[in-house]
Amino acid sequence: MADIIINAKKLTKTYRLFAEDVHAVNGIDFSIEQGEFVSIMGASGSGKTTLLDMIGCLDRISSGRLEVLGRDVTTLRETELVKVRRGNIGFIFQDFSLISSLTALENVELALYFARSLPKKNNAQKMLEKVGLGKRIRHLPRQLSGGEQQRVAIARALATEPRLLLADEPTGHLDSDRSQEIFDVFNTLNREDGLTIVVTTHNQKLGLQAGRAIFLQDGCIVSKERSNLFN
């Protein structure tokens, strides 16, 4: 049995909105093993992104217990959370979130710099080559298509050789062909490198390509078979 890389017990995230408590994630239990490719699916507002933020140590949990990469992050503050995610967790965002003034290569190198992984500097070019952008490393984000920008974001997330890759709606701004290309990259990374990947998506066709799917509704995990959630 593979190591459990993420373990959540009664995980809850509550926001205060207009004097009322809103449970974005409502007491869920789940675990993810190393080497799994998991998609988190659900309609808008179902709590996918909130859940991913907590798994990625970007947001603190309100109650329950959460272990990430073997570390209990339940009560950690931001200064400690950054140490957990630094170099260990790669992030991909819906809108690519590249630094517009930096080239593709520099964007990837930046992740190495902040992750204190500059000795792995060669990784930047290597990862860009791996995602098929070896000849476009000197291009600024505005000189790249949406699909290419997302591939730069993938290279940035992979450059530090993380143990966990988190992608929040990575195909939200892409057409179906480019979206499939991104998922093909994820499948390859998972299959060939054994990388643990967690992806949120509202695209059922893509989400079901993952090894396992977690369906969310109103902050709770619901049955995997309930594909009519997206109707």
Contact positions toward other proteins, by CB under 8 A?
53, 56, 58-59, 78-79, 82, 85-87, 90-91, 93-95, 97, 99-102, 106, 109-116, 118, 156-157, 160
Q: Residue 197: which of 165, 158, 161 has the closest Cα?
A: 165
Decide whether 31 or 113 has the Cβ nearer to other proteins. 113
Residue 189 gets the label, from left (phi > 0), alpha (psi -120 to 50) or beta, of: alpha
Nearest distance from residue 114's CB to other proteins, in Å? 4
Q: Quick one: tokens of 119?
A: 């000795």
Of residues 4 and 140, the one with the C-beta less far from other proteins:
140
Contact 9, 184 (CB under 8 A): no
Which of 88, 213 has the CB closer to other proteins?
A: 88
Q: How far apart are CB 208 and other proteins at their closest, in Å?
A: 26
Q: Which is nearer to other proteins, 113 or 188 (by Cβ)? A: 113
Nearer to other proteins by Cβ, of 114 and 224: the residue is 114
Distance in Å, CB of 16 to other proteins, minimum: 14
Q: Which of 175, 171, 161, 173 is nearest to 210 (CA)?
A: 171
Residue that the structure tokens 């969310």 belong to: 216
Q: Are strands 71-72 and 220-222 parallel, antiparallel or unpaired?
A: unpaired
Report, in Å, the least distance between residue 154 CB and other proteins.
13
Measured from the CB atom, is 110 or 229 closer to other proteins?
110
Write out the E strands in 62-124. 63-68, 71-72, 89-92
Smallest gap from Cβ 137 to other proteins, in A, equals 13
Which residue, 115 or 213, has its beta carbon nearer to other proteins? 115
b/e map 156-179, b = 16+ CB within 10 Å: bbbbbbbbbbbbbbbbebbeeebb
Q: Which residue has the tokens 């190591």?
A: 3
Closest CA to 190 of 38, 27, 51: 38
Residue 95 CB, shortest distance to other proteins, in Å, is 6
Q: In angstroms, what is the minimal distance from the CB of 138 to other proteins? A: 14
